[in-house]
Structure 1
Amino acid sequence: MATPHIAANKGDIAETILLPGDPLRAKFIAETFLEDVVQFNATRNMFGYTGTYKGKKISVMGTGMGIPSIGIYSYELIHFYGVKNLIRVGSCGAFQKDLKLYDVILGIGASTNSNYAHQYNLPGTYSATASWELLSKAKKVADEKSIPVTVGNILSSDTFYSADETEVQRWAKMNVLAVEMEAYALYCNAAAAGVNALCILTVSDSIVNKEETTAEEREKSFTRMMEIALELA
């Protein structure tokens, strides 16, 4: 049955799904890496596809930008479509000088400046973390493929253009590796539902080294990240 945001039927979506922010990146992944592809969603132009990779059923769908957007899509995927493994594949801005463009990060945990976890009425600050099952498997795949990865804490920020000019240095001092805008909500939704989630990121720009990739490069060239993620089906 369709939800307000996903026009798919039960069974159209695999138990494992890749979640790029950009719907055009979802289209590129489906057309480049998957076989026997069927599109299951175009509502709000948030493209979603299901196909096979090395004979295993896997889906891919865009989530849009920000915690509220991925919060909606991941919740519906989990609770209405039975998705068990949700893998965000996205770009990030590096906070640490030793991280270079195209480096791959596995987000073991996500810090945030969001109030997303307020809904759970917890008596403290919730630390949102990846599923160990997916994280350990992703690291093993990366090692087997000789793909260097950095494993650590990332920041899911509600603000892309921040009025606080000192925040990068303060997060970096706490050894936060990079900033993106979605993982915290994904990790919260997965934890609350008892399913698995992981955020795999490619460095698209370095905030400290003042380097950046183009929009087309972000859409089509982050292939090492995909090599890891697709093996998790």
Structure 2
Amino acid sequence: MSMTPTAHNGAKQGEIAKTVLMPGDPLRAKYIAETYLENPVLVTSVRNMFGYTGTYKGREISVMGGGMGMPSVGIYTYELFHFYGVEQIIRIGSAGALQDGVKLMDVVIGMGACTDSNYAYQYGLPGTFAPIADYGLLAKAVDTANAQGTHVVVGNILSSDIFYNADTTVNDKWRSMGVLAVEMEAAALYMNAAAAGKKALCMLTISDLIYGEEKLSAEERQLGFGKMMEIALEL
């Protein structure tokens, strides 16, 4: 039997921790591992999607990129849950703010993830599934943020399949329902976790304002999410 269970991940059995932090950008995964983890080891680089395992305060943690969009994160998280024995995945990403009260660099925690994706079709459910975070992870994240003095906003986010939407009114519609911010991965992560009986949480740093002019550069997105990381590492 092969020691590498999938074609998308070069890690051998036992090389990935039970807890995985998952940014979208593989270079952000590299930065996180080299900045925060002790003795990080590169365990996979298939398709340049870097994954590292190291320790933080004596606890083994892995950090691995998940790519852009639900098809990408859906593959990686499914394989981590089912083939590598991962118990919890914490997405740490960026998002565009939809509400005026959500500011640049704010940390948003996705209690639920609305979506325009058809990802749930595969489950054959007789209705609409509501993808939600693991409450234990969510509560601990909020408590950790409070202890660290970091302001977080908790609520509904949108996981969209579409970055350049031909419908120019779509953001207004989600905004009118109180959705805090838009990203592209959390709903698939939450559904994969639910189907596998595992835990998941999505934390986001606001990188741009959908109804404003401010936005972070690509380098700032890669390097500037320290507050969110300090929360995630304690989970």
Q: TM-score when scaled to structure 2? A: 0.98
Please name the residue that 1:182 is paired with.
185
- 1:30 maps to a residue whose letter is A
CA separation in 2, counterparts of 1:6 and 1:149? Answer: 33
CA separation in 2, counterparts of 1:58 and 1:137? Answer: 17
Please name the residue that 1:34 is paired with.
37
- How big is the shift at 1:133? 1.1
Which of structure 1's runs of 4+ aligned residues deviate more than 2 A? none
Partner of residue 116 from structure 1, selected from 111, 116, 119: 119
Please name the residue that 1:206 is paired with.
209
Question: Once the two structures are superposed, what CA deviation does each residue of 1:100-138 show, in whole Å capped at 9, x if it has no partner?
Answer: 110000100000000000000000111000001110110
1:157 and 2:160 are equivalent in the alignment: yes
CA separation in 2, counterparts of 1:174 and 1:4? Answer: 40
- How big is the shift at 1:141? 0.4
CA separation in 1, counterparts of 2:48 and 2:94? Answer: 20
- How big is the shift at 1:210? 2.3
CA separation in 1, counterparts of 2:165 and 2:231? Answer: 32
Secondary structure of the residue aligned to 1:212 is coil
- Unaligned runs of at least 5 residues, structure 1: none
Please name the residue that 2:9 is paired with.
6
CA separation in 2, counterparts of 1:38 and 1:53? Answer: 13
Partner of residue 67 from structure 2, selected from 64, 68, 75: 64
Please name the residue that 2:81 is paired with.
78
Give RMSD over aligned pairs: 0.5
Secondary structure of the residue aligned to 2:40 is strand
Q: TM-score when scaled to structure 1? A: 0.99
1:19 and 2:22 are equivalent in the alignment: yes
CA separation in 2, counterparts of 1:99 and 1:107? Answer: 13
- How big is the shift at 1:98? 1.3
Please name the residue that 2:138 is paired with.
135
Identity of aligned residues (%): 62
